[in-house]
Chain A
Amino acid sequence: MAKCRGDRDDVPDCGSTASTGEGQSQNPFAWFDGMIGHCLEYAQAAKAAGKPVVGILCEYTPRELIVAAGGVPVCLCGGSAKTIPAAEQHLPANLCPLIKSTYGYHLLGSNPFLEMADLVVGETTCDGKKKMYELMAESRPMYVLQLPHQANGGAALEYWLAELEKFRAFLEERFGTEITDDKIREAAKLLNRERALRRELAALMKSAHPLLTGRQLIACKSSIWGMTDALRQYERAIELLRGQGGEASSLCEKIASEGARNGRVRVLMTGVPMVHGAERVLDLIEDCGGLAVAMENCTGLKPLAEDIDETAADPLRALAGKYFSLPCSVMTPNDRRIDLLRQLAADYRPECVVELIWQACLTYDVESHRVKRFVEEELKLPYLRIETDYSPSDSARINVRVEALFETVRARR
């Protein structure tokens, strides 16, 4: 932990903000409760200092290139049901709520990060997003990365590498900067550290009696990666939970009494991302006596599983390799997702698996059949698939299923 200060000084693009001193004294969980505000402040300060704010919409977008270009990468995925009616003026009702919510923010102009974005980067993952980006591009500066979907194809990886080369050149020209290999290595180092800290925090859930709930863990993340304040809060959270910090004990006891009640059912969640504001199903699971010990999704461990080789001779290739191996259901075949689930099941010892599918997310929906078979036949765990959207109208029905699942799990104990 001590060397983090040195690391920070090495990074050219992530200067601290006015809130640094305040962040130091706050408890880290309170800091993450106000995360959006901190990110906003950070993005505004960066913008005032002449740095571009770059909106991203997917974990396939290599944040390192944006950071290396001197930019601030901020996640724009929508998690609010409120923006969906506006989106449905243009988009079909039977579409993924994440896409609709994101697009609703775009139409309403109500996401301050999107409004200040100098560039929005999309990617060809699912069809819904791809076509939505075309609409968004009519009035926003948009760059779409062409992601090939052949998970194991060497040629596909070469194509992806070429895409990133094009993207690098585009960013250089757009923002009048040079993205040297060294800058990519520096950015990789910074974001590797963020991944490592978040992995470490998540790994605390391996404990037989975790101090955090899954809901508390998922709140410990930042919409902007590479913020020194956020990195410091991850460190402080880890120290606190490990009982290393001086002022830790009282807060830890509070969290422990809330978070680690005996008899909770350990749940491995998989499927679609639960972006900020769209954590309803996680809440239902934990309110029914579950504990989400691991989340194999893009707002959980999926993008954290692998780092980038900071010492690689060709850092862009290292970047391409890491991002291309993300096990999203748009990939075919998506064996890596099964491998990741197997690993997480071994490490986090769940008693059941709950798969969340956003309505009309075709790739996760279809892939759920394979995941179910894998979970039941190989992991030998009960599996529950929940398909829903951002409206709470089916919460009572989801509750019945989750409770029934937990009754089944407890009967096996």
Chain B
Amino acid sequence: MICAGVDAGSRTAKVVLFDSDSLGVAAAGVVDQGIDQDAVADALFVRLIRENGIDPSQVGPVVGTGYGRKLIRFAQKTITEITCQAAGIRHSVPEARTIIDIGGQDSKYLRLNGNGSVADFAMNDRCAAGTGRFLELLAAQLGVRLDRLGEIAALSRNPAIISSMCAVFAETEIVGLLASGITTADIAAGVLASIATRVAAMSGRNLDGPIVLTGGVALVPGMEAALESILGQPVAVAPRPQITCALGAAILAWKSLNGSPTPTA
């Protein structure tokens, strides 16, 4: 049987089809988010089934998660991205004890119990500072492609200090840094460090390891190095970090079939 997880995030929608016989990912996809979140996710869901030659009658329960989870009409159930992320990471990195998830407009920290369930979590508040959206804005302002930000930051000798609590103010701050002749490399390194600092403020230090970085921002080269240098602890990037939350949703969809009343991984 195929169980599906749909993660309607702020920037992208992800679908994972989980094969409950092989206990592995049968198919997964990521597309840019749109105005009609249900239609975007549904189209991806249908495409994955068709392209992977999956018999639609074999598709079982669907769990929706993410910011737009309540808009996904074809999901029978919704579970928050916190619980789904824990379940997804439990599957892909079973030994993880701390998850740092930096997505489009959220950054989260999750502490896990030994059995993979959530012991504690924290999220950023109203503001998008320290998230993927923040990185996108600042990379655009520097005229640097997001996937090259880490590479450029690695050239920095003296990372700039970016202290603004707000993405909009940080933009202004960067205008000032550029005007005073600070190099792009130093600013890029400063941007990555400011995200890492914000995450560290949310999570505290001396985190239980292993620490896993996931979410779309985990794909930005250099992000894990910036986190390691602030936290003083090793940070591993989750395999396929954009889909771990959708994977967790698919696994929880499967577990709901077994009558498990509790969403633990």
| A and B pair up | yes
Stretch binding the partner chain, chosen from B28-36, B74-82, B224-232, B238-246: B74-82
Q: CA separation between A397 and B106, bound complex, in Å?
A: 9
Task: Tell me if A's interface is mostly helix, strand, loop or mixed.
Answer: helix
Q: CA separation between A383 and B83, bound complex, in Å?
A: 16
Within the complex, the shortest CB–CB distance from B40 to chain A, in Å, comes to 18
Stretch binding the partner chain, chosen from A309-317, A327-335, A402-410: A402-410
Are A404 and B264 closer than 8 Å at their CB atoms? no
Within the complex, the shortest CB–CB distance from A370 to chain B, in Å, comes to 14
A411 partner, pick from B81, B123, B263, beta carbons under 8 A:
B263
Are B80 and A400 closer than 8 Å at their CB atoms? yes
Q: How many A-B residue pairs have CB under 8 A?
A: 49
- Tell me whether B262 is interfacial, beta carbon within 8 Å: yes
Contact with A along B248-265 (1 / 0, CB 8 A): 000000000000011110
How many B residues have CB within 8 A of the partner chain? 18
How many A residues have CB within 8 A of the partner chain? 19
Are B123 and A407 closer than 8 Å at their CB atoms? no
A387 partner, pick from B121, B125, B264, beta carbons under 8 A:
B125
A410 partner, pick from B82, B123, B261, beta carbons under 8 A:
B261
Tell me the residues in window 356-413 of chain A with beta carbons closer than 8 Å to chain B beta carbons: 376, 382-383, 387-388, 393-394, 396-397, 400-401, 403-404, 407-408, 410-413
Are A400 and B82 closer than 8 Å at their CB atoms? yes
Within the complex, the shortest CB–CB distance from B9 to chain A, in Å, comes to 12
Are A407 and B83 closer than 8 Å at their CB atoms? yes
Are A394 and B125 closer than 8 Å at their CB atoms? yes
Within the complex, the shortest CB–CB distance from B205 to chain A, in Å, comes to 14
Q: CA separation between A413 and B261, bound complex, in Å?
A: 10
A408 partner, pick from B67, B81, B117, beta carbons under 8 A:
B117
Within the complex, the shortest CB–CB distance from A371 to chain B, in Å, comes to 14
* Contact residues in B for A408 (Cβ distance below 8 Å): 82-83, 117-118
* Contact residues in A for B118 (Cβ distance below 8 Å): 404, 407-408, 411
Q: CA separation between A396 and B125, bound complex, in Å?
A: 11
* Contact residues in A for B82 (Cβ distance below 8 Å): 400-401, 404, 407-408
Task: Name B79's closest neighbour in chain A (CB-CB).
Answer: A407
Task: Name B65's closest neighbour in chain A (CB-CB).
Answer: A400
Within the complex, the shortest CB–CB distance from A288 to chain B, in Å, comes to 10
Are B126 and A394 closer than 8 Å at their CB atoms? yes
- Tell me whether B147 is interfacial, beta carbon within 8 Å: no
Within the complex, the shortest CB–CB distance from A200 to chain B, in Å, comes to 35
- Tell me whether B208 is interfacial, beta carbon within 8 Å: no
Tell me the residues in window 34-93 of chain B with beta carbons closer than 8 Å to chain A beta carbons: 67, 79-83
Given contacts A407-B80, A411-B263, contact A401 B117 (CB under 8 A): no
Task: Name B123's closest neighbour in chain A (CB-CB).
Answer: A401
- Residues of chain A having any CB pair with chain B under 8 Å: 376, 382-383, 387-388, 393-394, 396-397, 400-401, 403-404, 407-408, 410-413
